[in-house]
Structure 1
Amino acid sequence: MDDRPRTPPLSPYATFTRESWATLRADTPLTLDQADLERLGSLNDPIDMSEVEQIYLPISRLLAFYVTARQQLFRATQRFLGHSEHRVPFVIAVAGSVAVGKSTTARVLRALLARWPATPKVDLVTTDGFLLPNAALAREGLMARKGFPESYDVQGLLRFISDIKAGKRGVRAPVYSHLVYDVVRGEHVTIDQPDIVILEGLNVLQTGDRPRNGRVQPFVSDFIDFGIYLDADEPLLHRWYVERFMRLRETAFRDPQSYFRKFAQVSKQEALETAETLWSDINLPNLRENIRPTRARADLILRKGRSHRIEEVRLRKI
């Protein structure tokens, strides 16, 4: 029997347990209260004050260092080039599977970052608004591929993030409604030179295809300053997705305007079978083919356990 110590596998990440990560909070103040958490939480994605203190406050402290360093580098480069300085936001991406809790993470981070002593302006944008309208998806036969890379207005999303990073004012992003399951025609949000932008979506860390003509095409991930990936085992994601669907059947799906209203009217068994089909035919293939492969591009990986708590943190080594 070989008793020699095994060499750990090579990894670009330093790995922390929940307890060891929590010590990195240092003296970062807690600026949220229970009422804030109740407002920021998502359906079927519980979050409590211990999660904020042990996980999100250290992240807030880390991001403060990254933002300051990036701003200093940007100003130095502008001086070197002889350009006049203009405001360019620091862009944070939050990626991961459906039902993993991206929305809660993005909202909690936004609230914490906006309460830094310098009170920066922090905007949150979801890439759902850049999904092609249902009419276009139906016309192209892509309704069953909604959420896959080809279902997005990629050029529109690229123009948006490029304009943001160029420091342009009044950049507009389309709005998506989960109630009607479609882009809302004529509605938009305006991003006007914030200090920080949080971009949340399934595929925000994805790269483009290899160029066939020798010309490199930019992708959204090229404009990201710091990427966060929320991770969990497939069985957990499966369970959370189905549980969320069944809870929505008792709540939001009952709204007369809901695209999914029919699932509030069928039997529980029929609704459960639908949720299982949506997971196995759409969400699981998208996770395996497109979402999980982007995990390796993240600067920070937050791995969740059975109770939706973040149990492990991986930080990319510099």
Structure 2
Amino acid sequence: MRGDTGGEPGRVSPYRTFTRETWAGLRADTPLPLEPAEIERLRGLNERLPVSEMVEIYLPLSRLLNLYVHAIQDLFAATQDFLGISDRKVPFVIGIGGSVAVGKSTTARVLQALLARWPNSPQVDLVTTDGFLHPNAVLEERGLMRRKGFPESYDRGALLRFLSQVKSGKSAVQAPVYSHLSYDIIPGGAVTVDRPDILIVEGLNVLQTGDAPPDGKTVPFVSDFFDFAIYVDAETEVIERWYVERFMQLRQTAFMDPEAYFHRHTKLTEEQALATALDLWRGINQVNLEANILPTRQRADLILVKDPDHLVERIELRRL
């Protein structure tokens, strides 16, 4: 079991730990605003997202986040009143991190859908850091194709500029777009973020920091722009199984498109495909998880810990 659950007498933890049952009780009769068909569309490939998961896990989480958003907005209004100014709206930014195949993209989509349905109908935008990966041509030139998703494979400067502009209240800020079909940045593609109430930023290494430079100058990190950070977690061997299962399923779906970057894998035998999936996981994704992603777990404000069936079994919420 990762981390200190804070449940043992005499042990001190920065987190309060909730069982699934205890957490579900914090829903406070919040109604589920989504129909079963809508929930199904939010579900990731090879994942489970039953109505019970929405009601017991994500509704209480959306309620908590809504309270945070209102608190920050009230503080912003109070500061404006104190300064005697009327400033532009600044989005509440939520960061969501975790391993490949752990389900963080589903968590991001679910929270976007739920938060946008609160009575005040906030505008909720979602951006993935995949769009800030260097194009494949750049990665090839630098010998980084097998380190795609590692910190050095991202255009960190572009990502920081994007978040700085969003957090300053600038209108119509554009982010590049990534295609999982072509496994590359879409030339000229962009998604526009126009002063939303809430921005969700989802990606592998969003909670990562780095060593301070020798000159001691301040270095900004992506997480510096977050008002709330979530880490989606599961045991490494469980994530490996999910990754392999998803890869094998993609061979029968998305990879069948002749334009798909991984179309060649559809020509492999089952045994060859399994070996390829394990090589990609153990040689790339597990290395990235253990070296770069998992060490950021304790920087999150809230950790969703999943069981082998893709359901959240425990929630760890940082003490204020």
* Cα separation, 2, equivalents of 1:141 and 1:8: 49
Q: What per-residue deviation string (whole Å, max 9, x for no partner) do you get for residues 41-83 of structure 1?
A: 1101110100000000000110111001111112222333444
Q: TM-score, normalised by structure 2?
A: 0.96
Superposed structure 1 runs of 4+ greater than 4 Å apart: none
Alignment partner of 1:202 is 2:204: yes
Q: Does structure 2 conserve the Cα–Cα contact (< 8 Å) formed by 1:144 and 1:282? A: yes
Q: Aligned match of 1:271 in 268, 273, 292?
A: 273
Q: Kindly state the Cα deviation for residue 208 of structure 1 after the two structures are TM-superposed.
A: 3.1
Q: Kindly state the Cα deviation for residue 254 of structure 1 after the two structures are TM-superposed.
A: 0.6
Q: Kindly state the Cα deviation for residue 207 of structure 1 after the two structures are TM-superposed.
A: 1.5
The aligned residue for residue 158 of structure 1 is 160
* Cα separation, 2, equivalents of 1:64 and 1:128: 26
Alignment partner of 1:85 is 2:109: no
- Determine helix, strand or coil for the equivalent of 2:165: helix
Q: Does structure 2 conserve the Cα–Cα contact (< 8 Å) formed by 1:75 and 1:85? A: no
Structure 2 matches for 1:304-315, cutoff 5 A? Answer: 304-315=306-317
Structure 2 matches for 1:7-156, cutoff 5 A? Answer: 7-156=9-158
The aligned residue for residue 298 of structure 2 is 296
- Determine helix, strand or coil for the equivalent of 2:251: helix
* Cα separation, 2, equivalents of 1:81 and 1:183: 43
Q: Does structure 2 conserve the Cα–Cα contact (< 8 Å) formed by 1:147 and 1:202? A: yes
The aligned residue for residue 3 of structure 1 is none
Q: Aligned match of 1:184 in 173, 186, 203?
A: 186
The aligned residue for residue 219 of structure 2 is 217
| Total equivalences in the alignment | 313
Q: Kindly state the Cα deviation for residue 210 of structure 1 after the two structures are TM-superposed.
A: 1.4
Q: Does structure 2 conserve the Cα–Cα contact (< 8 Å) formed by 1:12 and 1:317? A: yes
Q: Does structure 2 conserve the Cα–Cα contact (< 8 Å) formed by 1:208 and 1:218? A: no
* Cα separation, 1, equivalents of 2:248 and 2:11: 40
* Cα separation, 2, equivalents of 1:302 and 1:7: 23
The aligned residue for residue 248 of structure 1 is 250
- Determine helix, strand or coil for the equivalent of 1:45: coil
One-letter amino acid of the structure 1 residue matched with residue 32 of structure 2:
L
One-letter amino acid of the structure 2 residue matched with residue 212 of structure 1:
P
Q: Does structure 2 conserve the Cα–Cα contact (< 8 Å) formed by 1:95 and 1:102? A: yes
Which one is further off, 34-43 or 151-160?
34-43
* Cα separation, 1, equivalents of 2:30 and 2:301: 21
The aligned residue for residue 260 of structure 1 is 262
* Cα separation, 2, equivalents of 1:135 and 1:307: 38
* Cα separation, 2, equivalents of 1:150 and 1:259: 22
Query: Which residues of structure 1 form unaligned runs of 5+?
Result: 1-5
- Determine helix, strand or coil for the equivalent of 1:228: strand
Q: Kindly state the Cα deviation for residue 9 of structure 1 after the two structures are TM-superposed.
A: 2.4
* Cα separation, 1, equivalents of 2:25 and 2:9: 27
One-letter amino acid of the structure 2 residue matched with residue 56 of structure 1:
Y
Q: TM-score, normalised by structure 1?
A: 0.97
Which one is further off, 201-210 or 48-57?
201-210
Q: Does structure 2 conserve the Cα–Cα contact (< 8 Å) formed by 1:94 and 1:228? A: yes
* Cα separation, 2, equivalents of 1:170 and 1:51: 34
The aligned residue for residue 235 of structure 2 is 233
Q: What per-residue deviation string (whole Å, max 9, x for no partner) do you get for residues 272-294 of structure 1?
A: 11100011110011001110111
> CA-atom RMSD, angstroms?
1.0
- Determine helix, strand or coil for the equivalent of 2:126: strand
Which one is further off, 7-16 or 191-200?
7-16
- Determine helix, strand or coil for the equivalent of 1:187: strand
Q: Kindly state the Cα deviation for residue 204 of structure 1 after the two structures are TM-superposed.
A: 0.9
One-letter amino acid of the structure 2 residue matched with residue 297 of structure 1:
R
